Amino acid sequence: HFLFKFEKYNYTMKKLILKIIDFLAYLIFKLLRKPYSEYYAFCMNMIVKLNPNWGQNLEREFQLDYLKSKGLMPASVLLDYGCGALSAGRFFIDYLDEGCYVGTDVAKGVLAEGSRRLTKLGLDGKKARLIHIKNNYLPHEKIGKVDFIWAQSVVTHMSPEDLSEMISQVEPIMNKDSIFLFSFTNNESGVKHRNFKDWEYDLDTLIEISGRYGFVCEIQKDWTHPVDDAGTDKVVCLRLLGS
């Protein structure tokens, strides 16, 4: 009983420490006029440093099931945009053929932790490519052409500027039949920023930004997040105009 109370206290203290770090980091990065993505990368690197097991026990195989329902095959090339420490990526890598997985993230320390996890899981032989995104630049030359782009719980931590930057850079790595699926937190009232690193979007804003860069953006009615009690977690699919 005492051990349970101690562990609960320890968990509460860690959450409090992270909230304080979030608040201070947000103020400092804003005062220094640094890009929002740099602030977010700092926070994620700090989370993994404080808790190396972060995200390891989360049940993320439902993401693989969803992409398979959209046509993902073992031979498909997948870009997991904002892959983090591979909570879901480990399932993609295990399913896909050798060399077919590309994971990108703005947080270098988180990617390093993901790489360590692959080794522990015996998945190094799948030759997954983990690429650090610097200054919001997507390195096309390292990625090549992909069939699917998946960004789950990524846009929920992106400012409108970062979101626009992401969409503006994906066309060169897509074939005419490639699709880009990403989740977002829906807010019918428009764009909303809360809790320092959380963003909500309305569908009209996503359609406008996507159209600006030559994409058709459609809501996916078959998506359900298993722990989304509020029903606000949605997915859109982007396709190149004329594809």
Tens of pLDDT, residues 68-99: 999 999 999 999 999 999 999 999 999 999 99
Q: What angle do CA 29, 86, 160 make, to 5 degrees?
A: 40
Burial of 70 from C-beta contacts in 10 A (0-12 / 13-18 / 19+):
middle
Q: 234's torsion region: left (phi>0), alpha (psi -120 to 50) or beta? A: beta
Q: How far is CA 62 from CA 14, 59, 65, 66, 227, in A?
A: 28, 8, 5, 6, 11
Q: Which two tokens stand for residue 160?
A: 């409108």
Whole-angstrom distance, CA of residue 20 vs CA of residue 25: 8
19 or 4, higher pLDDT? 19
- Considering the chain, what is the average pLDDT of its residues? 91
**Model confidence, pTM:** 0.89
Burial of 94 from C-beta contacts in 10 A (0-12 / 13-18 / 19+):
middle
Percent of the residues in the chain that have a pLDDT greater than 90, as a whole number: 72
Q: Give the CB-side neighbour count of residue 210, counting CA atoms within 13 A.
A: 21
pLDDT digits (tens, 9 = 90+) for 168-201: 999 999 999 999 999 999 999 999 998 888 999 9
Residue 30 has pLDDT above 80, yes or no: yes
Residue 6 has pLDDT above 80, yes or no: no
- What does the longest C-alpha to C-alpha distance in the chain come to? 63
184 within 8 A of 155, measured Cβ to Cβ: yes
Tell me what the mean pLDDT of segment 154-159 comes to: 94
User: Three-state DSSP class for 174?
Assistant: strand
Please tell me what DSSP assigns to residue 157: G
Q: Residue 185's beta-bridge partner residues?
A: 233
179 or 27, higher pLDDT? 179
Lowest mean pLDDT among 5-19, 20-34, 70-84: 5-19
